[in-house]
Amino acid sequence: MSGVQTVTVTEEDADQRLDRWLKRHFPQLQQGRIEKMCRKGELRVDGGRVRAATRLAAGQQVRIPPLPEPGTKPAAPRPQVTGDDAQMMRDAVIWKDDYIIAINKPPGLPTQGGTGQTRHVDGLAEALRFGFEDKPRLVHRLDKDTSGVLLLARTRAVAAGLTAAIRHRQTQKIYWALVAGVPVPYLGEIRYGLVKAPGHGKGGEGEKMRAIHPAEVDATPGAKRAHTLYATLYRVASRASWVAMEPLTGRTHQLRAHMAEIGHPIVGDGKYGGSGQENLGDGWGAQLGGIISKKLHLHARRMQFRHPVTGKTITVTAPLPEHMAQSWENLGWSEDIAAEDPFEKLR
């Protein structure tokens, strides 16, 4: 049996049910076992008793009692990483030391497992031990089709430190995107709140975030405030723009929902910009057509944070994925012409 564990809930894991969070992090646990641990008070959040359906908040401490060793769990064993996947993960490393690993997450690769997802960064991180006993731990997430900087901690203490820094907004993340039309003003803020809206599939599958006017957030059940800075860097007439974005909050699909709400969906974003709606030059539609890829054009370009051990300021930059680099070339842009921090005037 393992010993008692205390795990800090990350900003990205917030608002999840306890049982679903446990199954994601401890796949050996069955629903019946989780409910029994709740009834007996063995599972606790911030020292208090909980139910399986309790929703977690960022920063909460989940106390987990001793669990069966991996060799005795009835669920699937530790993911087996193929040679090709192991090489892919190692090639994705763009910065590392004895405490932290930063990768350039490829588009199309989920950060964590879910229904029907067996190949994801969390599992493939087995290939990133580099001689360490423990597998690196995720401290934040990126959407499946979003590429770019993703941090993993090599120790539990470092994971807690990075998670706290993200929660207290002590990190800076800058994303690049290709969007439909030209956002005006060129430098601005988006403050629409966001609330989950169920999808039309069975059981509400396909849910998305709905934007709420800032004045109506407090009166809208489930709505959370969200704040995004954006800067229009370059444009192609009135048809499309290269935009930098900095999320000052960490809501689900925040950048995608915010850009769509102001009339400039991210290119390739079928969920928020219309999967079959081609941009004919009027500034709307998530598909530019022609030789521009239909994949999502959203990339976590840069992340800056204070190292939790050395105290140094670390800046990690991720090159564009292949489809975005090709779009940039087709539009006559290059990565080196953008300012490192286009939001300096807003600080």
CA distance 247 to 244: 10
Strands 193-197 and 313-317: unpaired
CA distance 176 to 260: 15
**3-state class percentages of the chain: helix first, strand second, coil last, to nearest 5:** 25, 25, 50
Q: Compute and round to an integer the Cα radius of gyration of the chain.
A: 21
CA distance 306 to 309: 9
Distances 271 to 71, 96, 173, 287, 333 between C-alpha atoms, Å? 41, 34, 23, 12, 27
| 287 close to 268: Cβ distance less than 8 angstroms | yes
Helix (H) or strand (E) holding 34: helix 31-39
Tokens standing for residue 139: 């401290």
80: buried, middle or exposed (CB in 10 Å: 19+, 13-18, 0-12)?
exposed
Distances 138 to 125, 209, 237, 268 between C-alpha atoms, Å? 9, 24, 40, 26
Catalytic residues: 143
* One-character DSSP codes across 155-214: SHHHHHHHHHHHHTT-SEEEEEEEEES--SSSEEEE--EEEEE--SSGGGTT-EEEEE-G
- Which of 177, 172, 165 is CA-nearest to residue 302? 172
